[in-house]
Amino acid sequence: MSRVLLLPGDGIGPEIVSAARQVLQKVSDQFELGIELTEGLIGGAAIDAHGVPLPDETLEAARTSDAILLGAVGGPKWDQIERSIRPERGLLQIRSALGLFANLRPALLMEQLADASSLKPELVAGLDLLIVRELTGGIYFGEPRGIRTLDNGERQGYNTQVYAESEIKRIAKVAFELAITRAKSWGEGMPAKVCSVDKANVLEVTELWREVVTEVAKDYPEVELTHMYVDNAAMQLVRAPKQFDVMVTGNLFGDILSDEAAMLTGSIGMLPSASLDANNKGIYEPCHGSAPDIAGQDLANPLATIMSVAMLLRYSLKAEAAAKAIESAVSSVLDDGLRTRDIMSPGMTEVGCQQMGEAVLAKL
């Protein structure tokens, strides 16, 4: 018996989580996992109901669940309210309260979608990289922060980029261990590689990052460690992305690079993610946002959220067979030529969010 909390959120969140919920329910029945599903409010939906983006009852439900599946938060409706209670704050608060410091963002190119990438198919076909982003530190949480008025009357915005040694150590360990697991899953003798991304030539905080990652690497002699400046990493990701295996980086750089990596795969609507604590409990969510431009129109791609369910089953519930069943159902639906608008290409059949979800269910 496991408990999974669903947090649909805003924009397309309710549509994609509804499709994913049915998939999760279906595999729970099929594989006799006995998963109990509950729902809660977060983001703008929670602000409308309770005045805050993360109500106490949502946090309590999250603490007592084994895993959480989240849609997305935010939208223009809440853009003008005070920064400290904006929808995105709810997300930062829940990640922080649950101690979810490791964000796993795979960029895996499904063969059927090689043409959907803006890069040449030969550059991306077979791409399988994993960005490990530190999630609870760095400039998104650093103090002091704010907007102040200088003596000359001009306003100045400021944030602080900070990383303690212990924060760098624990995320580096996650990256090295994942690299070893991935290499093993590919077969005997496959190399395990970690590329640590920083800006050590300019920022002292990332000079320390590089030093600490190098120290941690001594405990993992079987992993090949390289370092790369973030500007070069951004360039290399579009020049030759298949050179990377695991990339580990801080919160801000990871936020940007993982969206860039997302586009290598053709659509941000295809990419799942996981944010884990030290015990593999975590929040699973698509990499994309709440897409207010297409919300409520049955145009959203639910596959990133459905693939997030597969990750949830694999990492938090240890239900590998159910995870694999979902992944092959998704692959099979793509083989049939079904595409949502974001991944549509000539000769394929365009379907909406609901129909795509039903097609995956039918394959299961």
Kindly state whether residue 74 participates in binding ligand NAD, applying the rule CB under 6 A: yes
Q: Locate tokens 């609507």: which residue?
A: 269
DSSP 193: E
Residues that bind ligand NAD (rule: CB under 6 A) add up to a total of: 21
Centre a 10 Å sphere on the Cβ of residue 141 and count the other Cβ atoms it contains. Answer: 17
Residue of the chain from 289, 306, 325, 359 that contacts ligand NAD (CB under 6 A): 289
Site for ligand NAD in 90-119 (CB under 6 A): 91
Kindly state whether residue 300 participates in binding ligand NAD, applying the rule CB under 6 A: yes
CB of 255 to ligand NAD, least distance (A): 9
Kindly state whether residue 288 participates in binding ligand NAD, applying the rule CB under 6 A: yes
CA separation for the pair 225, 215 (Å, rounded): 11
Angular region, 146: left φ>0, alpha ψ -120 to 50, beta rest: left
* 8 A C-beta contact, residue 274 and residue 308: yes
Candidates 173-181, 212-220, 238-246, 294-302 — which segment interacts with ligand NAD by CB under 6 A?
Answer: 294-302
Please confirm, yes or no, whether 255 is among the known catalytic residues. yes
CB of 10 to ligand NAD, least distance (A): 8
Kindly state whether residue 130 participates in binding ligand NAD, applying the rule CB under 6 A: no
- What angle is formed at CA 28 by the lines to CA 353 and CA 361, rounded to 5 degrees? 30
Query: Omega into 144 within 30° of 0, i.e. cis?
Result: yes
Active-site residue among 10, 198, 245, 255? Answer: 255
Active-site residue among 48, 115, 219, 231? Answer: 231
Candidates 72-80, 121-129, 156-164, 244-252 — which segment interacts with ligand NAD by CB under 6 A?
Answer: 72-80
CB of 202 to ligand NAD, least distance (A): 26
> Would you give the binding string for ligand NAD spanning residues 50-69, x where CB under 6 A is met?
--------------------
CA separation for the pair 325, 352 (Å, rounded): 22
Please confirm, yes or no, whether 198 is among the known catalytic residues. no
Nearer to ligand NAD (CB atom), residue 89 or residue 193: 89
- What angle is formed at CA 348 by the lines to CA 346 and CA 351, rounded to 5 degrees? 125
* 8 A C-beta contact, residue 292 and residue 75: yes
CB of 67 to ligand NAD, least distance (A): 17
CA separation for the pair 236, 109 (Å, rounded): 17
> Which residue is closest to ligand NAD by CB?
289
Nearer to ligand NAD (CB atom), residue 216 or residue 333: 333
Active-site residue among 66, 128, 259, 277? Answer: 259
Residue of the chain from 7, 342, 356, 357 that contacts ligand NAD (CB under 6 A): 342
* 8 A C-beta contact, residue 308 and residue 4: no
Please confirm, yes or no, whether 220 is among the known catalytic residues. no
Site for ligand NAD in 256-275 (CB under 6 A): 268-269
Candidates 121-129, 239-247, 296-304, 307-315 — which segment interacts with ligand NAD by CB under 6 A?
Answer: 296-304
In this structure, the chain runs to a length of 364
Q: Is the dihedral of CA 8, 38, 280, 31 positive or negative?
A: negative
Kindly state whether residue 357 participates in binding ligand NAD, applying the rule CB under 6 A: no
CA separation for the pair 334, 340 (Å, rounded): 10
Please confirm, yes or no, whether 199 is among the known catalytic residues. yes
Please confirm, yes or no, whether 335 is among the known catalytic residues. no
Active-site residue among 26, 140, 281, 284? Answer: 140
* 8 A C-beta contact, residue 317 and residue 306: no
Indicate the Cα dihedral angle 332, 270, 89, 40, nearest 10°: -20
What is the residue type of 307? M
Site for ligand NAD in 1-40 (CB under 6 A): 12
CA separation for the pair 102, 280 (Å, rounded): 10
Catalytic (active-site) positions: 140, 199, 231, 255, 259
Binding footprint of ligand NAD on the chain (CB under 6 A): 12, 72-75, 88, 91, 268-269, 285, 288-294, 300-301, 304, 342
